[in-house]
Amino acid sequence: MKIGELSTLTGCSVQTIRYYEKEHLLPKTQRSEGNFRLYDDASVEHLLFIKRCRSLDLSLSEIRQLLELRYSPNAPCDEVSHMLSSHINHVRARIEELINLEDQLASLLHSCPSQGTVKKCEILKNLTATQKIMS
Amino acid sequence: MKIGELSTLTGCSVQTIRYYEKEHLLPKTQRSEGNFRLYDDASVEHLLFIKRCRSLDLSLSEIRQLLELRYSPNAPCDEVSHMLSSHINHVRARIEELINLEDQLASLLHSCPSQGTVKKCEILKNLTATQKIMS
DNA sequence: TTTAAACTCTCTAGTCACTATAGAGTCAAG
DNA sequence: CTTGACTCTATAGTGACTAGAGAGTTTAAA
How does pLDDT run across B43-71, given as a tens digit for each residue? 999 999 999 999 888 999 999 988 988 88
Question: Which chain A residues are closer than 8 Å to B100 by Cβ?
Answer: none
What band does B134 get if pLDDT is binned at 50, 70 and 90?
Answer: very low
A16 touches strand C (CB under 7 A): yes
Residue B93 has pLDDT above 50, yes or no: yes
In this structure, chain A runs to a length of 135
| pLDDT of A109 | 85
Phi/psi at B35 (5° precision): 70, 25
Full-model pTM: 0.83
Distance CA(A27)–CA(A10), nearest Å, equals 16
Digit-coded pLDDT (tens) for A91-112:
999 999 899 888 888 888 888 8
Distance CA(B132)–CA(B123), nearest Å, equals 12
| pLDDT of B74 | 83
| pLDDT of A135 | 41
- pLDDT, mean of residues B82-86: 88
Distances (CA, A) of A2 to A12, A19, A26, A118: 13, 16, 14, 58
Between A118 and B44, the more confident residue is B44
Question: Which chain A residues are closer than 8 Å to B133 by Cβ?
Answer: none
Instruction: Report the mean per-residue pLDDT for chain B.
Output: 88
Distance CA(B33)–CA(B118), nearest Å, equals 66
Q: Which uninterrupted H or E stretch holds A97?
A: helix A78-110
Window 99-118 of chain B: CB closer than 7 A to strand C: none
CB A3 within 8 A of CB A37: yes
| pLDDT of A133 | 45
CB B80 within 8 A of CB A123: yes
CA atoms within 13 A on the CB side of A121: 28
For the CA of A39 and the C1' of D5, the distance in angstroms is 19
